[in-house]
């Protein structure tokens, strides 16, 4: 009898341990301990022309609210680094990254945000700050990529080459030299583009003249940016009302599309991304 009880207890104990081993990871802490500085030292040397300083290396802890049972919401313990370097204009910059996400993704995001912020502050705001802009106005930066809905055989090259380019950003051979990058030369060094929306609210008294004034400002801004980038602007600029109001021309909005400094008149939406891909052939793929 005692042997039977002991056997039963042993089986129950094993079941408990087995149960705990499956539950513990979702209730514990997700720890990231890979040293990205050591792992990507060669890549970082290329990114910063062998001239970079680790300004800080900080262990961090973050908690996340539970969204649903299928999402890993464990607290995260990770390392965040800040690297100081000088860009192509000799300006001190700081590249902040951590070891939770791929370095490729963080390089891409850093460049997109850095460039978008620069053009927003130095071009967008000076031209449009005095307008009744809607919250839907924006300046975003994007690396070109194929749509997730692209299935046509002719678009496989587009998808495969843009994905491969972005995946290789964490390698010495495929990374971007941030020490040479500037807002002026970004469209020559990266296969990226700006997406700009000038969205305004209200019902102007003189609708036609108001809209023409905005259009003139946009075209002046485009000319200035194109000159600033030495004729390499790649961007899609859109103008329209935030509300469902047609322009005086009867159109819902107006779009200007530029690929490496040249205006393209048949590029909108998904077609614009494809034009960007084609425009960067021979440079990045």
| Predicted local distance difference test score (pLDDT) of residue 73 | 78
Model confidence at 67, pLDDT cuts 50, 70, 90, reads low
Contact by Cβ (8 Å): 237, 119: no
Phi, psi of 94 (to 5 degrees): -130, 125
Domain regions of the chain by residue span = 29-100, 101-279
DSSP state of 121: I
pLDDT tens digits, 164-212: 999 999 999 999 999 999 999 999 999 999 999 999 987 788 999 999 9
Strand order in the sheet with 192-200: 138-143, 192-200, 235-241, 253-259, 262-263
- H-assigned helices in the chain: 2-27, 36-39, 41-47, 103-119, 125-128, 156-167, 186-189, 207-228, 270-279
Model confidence at 20, pLDDT cuts 50, 70, 90, reads very low
Q: Please report, rounded to a whole number, the percentage of residues in the chain having pLDDT higher than 70.
A: 86
Residue holding tokens 């100081």? 84
Residue holding tokens 């030369």? 185
């Amino acid at each position: 009898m005692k042997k039977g009880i002991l056997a039963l207890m042993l089986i129950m104990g094993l079941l408990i341990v087995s149960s705990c081993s499956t539950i513990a990871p979702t209730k514990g802490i997700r720890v990231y301990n890979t040293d990205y500085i050591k792992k990507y030292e060669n890549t970082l040397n290329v990114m910063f022309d062998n001239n970079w300083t680790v300004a800080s290396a900080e262990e961090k802890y973050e908690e996340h609210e539970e969204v649903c049972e299928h999402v890993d919401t464990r607290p995260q313990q990770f390392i965040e680094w800040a690297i100081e370097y000088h860009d192509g204009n000799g300006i001190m910059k700081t590249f902040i990254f951590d070891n939770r996400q791929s370095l490729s993704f963080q390089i891409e995001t850093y460049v997109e945000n850095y460039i978008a912020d620069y053009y927003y502050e130095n071009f967008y705001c000076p031209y449009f700050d005095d307008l009744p802009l809607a919250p839907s106005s924006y300046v975003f930066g994007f690396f070109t990529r194929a749509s997730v809905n692209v299935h046509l055989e002719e678009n496989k090259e587009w998808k495969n080459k843009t994905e491969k380019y972005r995946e290789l950003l964490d390698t010495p051979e495929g990374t971007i030299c941030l020490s040479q990058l500037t807002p002026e030369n970004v469209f020559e060094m990266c296969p990226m583009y700006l997406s700009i929306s000038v969205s305004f609210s209200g019902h102007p008294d003189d609708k036609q003249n108001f809209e023409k004034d905005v259009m003139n400002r946009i075209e002046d801004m485009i000319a200035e940016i194109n000159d600033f980038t030495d004729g390499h602007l790649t961007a899609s600029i859109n103008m329209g009302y935030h509300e469902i109001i047609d322009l005086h021309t009867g159109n819902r909005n107006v779009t200007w599309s530029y690929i490496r400094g040249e205006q393209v008149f048949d590029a909108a939406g998904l077609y614009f991304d494809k034009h960007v891909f084609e425009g960067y052939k021979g440079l990045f793929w």
